[in-house]
Structure formats: structure tokens, C-alpha cells
Amino acid sequence: MAAAPGSDILYPEDSLPFAKSMVAGFQHVIAMFGGTILCPLLMGFDPNVAILCSGLSTLLFFVIVRGRIPSYLGSSFSFIAVVIAATGYSGSGPNPNIAIALGGILVTGLVYAGIGLLVLLTGTRWIERLMPPALTGAIVAVIGLNLAPVAVHDMGSGAFEITLGLATVALMAVSAIYLPAFLARLPILIGGGAAYLLYFVLCNLGGLGQPIDFAPVAAAPWIGLPHFVAPVFTVSASLLIAPVAIILVAENLGHVRSIGIMMGRNLDPSLGRAFLGDGLATIFSAAAGGTGVTTYAENMGVMAITRNFSSRTFLFAALFAVCFGLSPKFGALIQTIPMPIMGGLSLVVFGLITAAAGRIWVENKVDFTEPRTLIMVGVAVMIAAGDLSLKIGDFVLSGIGLATLASLALHHGLNLKTRPKMVTVSYLTTEYTRDIAPPN
């Protein structure tokens, strides 16, 4: 089914022609590689296992949500601190205790899937009261701002590296705005590819910086199975990692509502399936040796740029990821992307996620003259931007997790004396309206 005439939005039920869908799906795979490779490496996972599991997890998620929520499932940054704490990982090379972390991640998936079943049985009203638009927008902003240091760090500290990172941003912007029709839907692929070529010319041919090393690519085989690891269950790791399920619920809720705002559709009726699908995908990924997964911020950014929400695009992305996970050579090639280029790509994508919070607040008419809202949002974004950490024994709560819990506590604590009344909130089109708790 093609997009509606006169519309520049491709909805989940719409589709591009086969070849264009393949290219658009490939762009999503490229967009998610920054997090899906970097995140597993930070925890000592095999990146090829993580990529393979992300593709298979996306297919499972697609089946559970019946294709109604366009999302790609990648490695969640929310697990990094707790996995490192549970395994005592040194920060380089394979993690020798990764099996212990996998047990905790699998338990997290069970808790998460249980929450999804509860939402399916009881509806989303309690979720709406727990996380109204003011709070959801704050959590979305928290996710983007907490990832900002990753993008800035990747761009480097030298003038040459930063210039290349900013050139990547400019090339992406030009691709998204000035290229015609379908090409404008591929800013990550075209802008990022142009930046990679620019880096190769300046550094490999011109000698102006660290050249790209293609030796690992030449040495890697074309096809090969990654190293799978079975989970080992311990009480300590499970208790340490399982609370991440609450963060994943908030993260997924923010993602789903952001996508709904971008499309002009109310996706709340599918929240239960989204939570269940994400939880089951995390269980599957951990059982195979992969990371915990979640709907992915980078791909939300791509959707914001391209306005392509076609589910068919994500099916192709998942299939590409499965193929790439079985190709050590491709994994080695992706890891040749220079850090300044990765930083520029991340700067745009993470920034768009943060900006999506503003759309949630604007579309739901959140009142920022209300002191309670100002305090909640202000504290949450500062905790996330500063990556504040709280250590209680062996349990470390930092960044997104601490900011999410702080925003929940502040919002509900400061509204104890106010019983919310139900109001009708319109999305971008008048076709979809629903009753939710007031934004404050």
C-alpha cells in the first residue's frame, strides 16, 4: 500500500517500493550501529552477537505489536552501569563474567514482560496517571541529554576532529533538506557516507589525521557464527539488574508516545503489546548471549528526519542486521567508522530525540508556568545532563535511571494534594483523541 496522495508521511501500513524499502531499512541499520556496537563493547559483549540478536528481537517485536509500532530494537544504554557493577568488568576486551550479567538481564526481561501483560489486562489508564505528558516529555528529554556526552566525546578534542564532526552534521543537514524526494529520506546514509569519504581523502590520502585501518576488515571472514553465551542466574546480579525494567518501561513509553506525536496517531492502545514485545525480546536476546534491548533512540531520530514510519522498512532493517551479525567482515568494516564521524552522526540524532520532548509538551499543552512542572523537568534534565550517580552498596543508579526515578518522585510527590481531572487531548490530527490525566 502506497502513501496517501499529497501526504509526505509514510504510515506503518504504507510501503515504499521494494528497492527503496531495502535502502531505507539499511539506513536504519547504519543509524543504530553507533549504539548497538558501542553499547555492547562498553559492557564486554560480542558486538556481532548483539547485532544478530537486535535483528531477531526486532522481528519478534514486530510480530507482538502486529506491525503497528515502527521501531527497531537495539542495545539499551540503561544496562551499562548495572552490568559493569554485577560483573566487575575492567572496561576492555571480552567480559569474562558476561554469563552472570545475562542471567540478570533475562530476569529483567521477565519483569518487563509481566508489566506488559498487566497493561494488556488492565489498560493504560494507570500508566497515564503514573506518567502524564509533562513527565513523559521529561523522560524523553532525559534520554537525549544523557546521551549528549557520548556524541561530544566521539567528536574528539582536537580542532581537526571537531571540524570533521561538524562537517558530518552539515552534510547530513544538506542531505535532509536540499536533496530531492526519496534521497532526502536518507541523510544518515548519504551524509554519513559523504563524511566517511571526506575523512578517507583527508586522512588516508592527505595524511592530515589518523588514517582508517582496513587490515581488520581484510583479515575477517565473510561468514561466521558469533560466539554465543548461555546465561547464569545469581540472586545478587538479578536484584542488581532487574530494576532496570522500570527504566525500560519509561523509556519505551516515551519512545512510543514520541512516535505517535510524529505520526499524528494515538499509539497508547498498543502500549501493552509494546512492553510485552520488548520484554520478550530482552528475554530472547539474553538467552542467546546478547544485550538487553529496547526501542531505539537513533531510529526515532531517523524517523523524525525522513517521516518514514513504514513497518516494512523495519522488517528490512531487521533482516539486514541478521545478515550482518553473521558476517564478521561487515562488523569489522562498520568499526572502521572514524570517531569524529560517529560523533557528528550522534550529535544530530540524539539532538532530535531531545527535541521530541518539546513536541510532546507543545502538543499536550503542558503548562510551564506551573512551578511543580518546572521543578520536575529542570531537576530531571540536570541529573541526566550531568550524569549524576547514586551508589547504594553495590547498586549504582546513574544518568537515565536516576533522572527517571527523580522525575517520577518529584511529579507525584509535588501533586499529592491535587487529584487530576480527565481531559481530552488532541494529537496532531483530530482523528485521534483520548482522555488522559492533565499534563501537570
Tens-place pLDDT, residues 342-384: 788 778 877 877 787 887 788 778 888 888 888 888 888 888 8
Per-residue pLDDT reduced to its tens digit, 202-211: 888 887 878 8
Is 318's pLDDT higher than 70? yes
Whole-prediction pTM value?
Answer: 0.67
Per-residue pLDDT reduced to its tens digit, 253-290: 878 887 888 888 888 888 889 999 999 999 999 999 88
Per-residue pLDDT reduced to its tens digit, 108-124: 999 999 999 999 898 87
What sign does the dihedral 167-349-343-315 (CA atoms) show?
negative
At 429 the pLDDT is 39
Per-residue pLDDT reduced to its tens digit, 228-242: 888 888 887 887 788
Is 77's pLDDT higher than 50? yes
Mean of per-residue pLDDT scores for the chain: 79
Arithmetic mean of pLDDT, 48-73 = 89
Can you tell me the distance from the alpha carbon of 191 to that of 203, in angstroms, rounded to the nearest whole number?
18
Q: Cβ–Cβ contacts within 10 Å for residue 371, how many?
A: 10
Residue 243 cell numbers, joined:
530494576
Arithmetic mean of pLDDT, 173-194 = 76
At 212 the pLDDT is 84
Arithmetic mean of pLDDT, 387-406 = 73
Contact 68, 335 (CB under 8 A): no
Amino acid at 296: Y
Q: Cβ–Cβ contacts within 10 Å for residue 359, how many?
A: 17
Can you tell me the distance from the alpha carbon of 332 to that of 14, in angstroms, rounded to the nearest whole number?
34
- Please give the distance of CA 282 from its chain centroid, rounded to a whole number: 14
418 vs 74 pLDDT, higher one: 74
